[in-house]
Amino acid sequence: MALLPILRFPDPRLKKVAAPVLEIDEGIKRLARDMAETMYEAPGIGLAATQVDVHKRVIVIDISETRDELLTLINPEIAEKDGLQVCEEGCLSVPGIYDKVERAENVRVHYLDLKGEKRTIEAHGLLAVCLQHEIDHLDGKVFVEHLSQLKQTRIKAKLAKQAKITA
Ligand code: K1U
Ligand code: ZN
């Protein structure tokens, strides 16, 4: 297994739209394992392949407190959504920044599991937020893009300052 470097906003590679996975081969299985290890080590509750500069539609999520309920979703698609919730979000690609984002309260997501079986997950609350956040990454969208232009400018300035300090 391997820890993968995570791209940082506003890296332009975070804007790429990920391609569907056509075959769940050893490379995809290894990617999913490495992404899970990277998510747990960060630590985070989700990770999209886009964030590790692999532009394929793979996400991993574990919102459990015990960190033993790993979900791996290949080619996830939101089939239905309803309701609204506002939740404080963070992002491993935007370290140290948290803000409230409005998302659907309930989602139904179709995906393939690692065996290539078609599955459906119905989620609400934090899991629904996390699914929407990670699928946004596959579509080249980072959560700060849901915020005002003024907030985005401030966030970019803060991250640039942080990067200078740590350089
Ligand atoms: O996609 C990512 O960058 C991961 C992100 C997922 C996420 C967090 C909050 C709302 C929606 C989506 C994170 O995991 S940020 C870190 C975080 O939230 C966390 C870390 C450790 C324990 C609990 C939460
Ligand atoms: Zn994120």
DSSP SS3 for 93? coil
Query: Which residues form ligand 1's pocket by a CB distance below 6 Å?
Result: 43-48, 89-93, 129-130, 133-134, 137
Average pLDDT value for residue range 36-49: 98
Q: Which range is least confidently modeled, 50-64, 92-106, 150-164? A: 150-164
Residue 40 Cα to ligand 1 middle (Å): 11
- For the chain, what is the mean pLDDT? 97
Half-sphere exposure of 8 (CA within 13 A, CB side): 10
Q: How far is CA 60 from the centre of its chain?
A: 8
Position 162 pLDDT exceeds 90: no
Q: Which residue ranges form the domains of the chain, and what is each CATH number?
A: 12-166 (3.90.45.10)
User: What's the sign of the alpha-carbon dihedral 126, 85, 83, 18?
Assistant: negative
- Whether 102 is catalytic: no
Q: Tell me the pTM.
A: 0.97
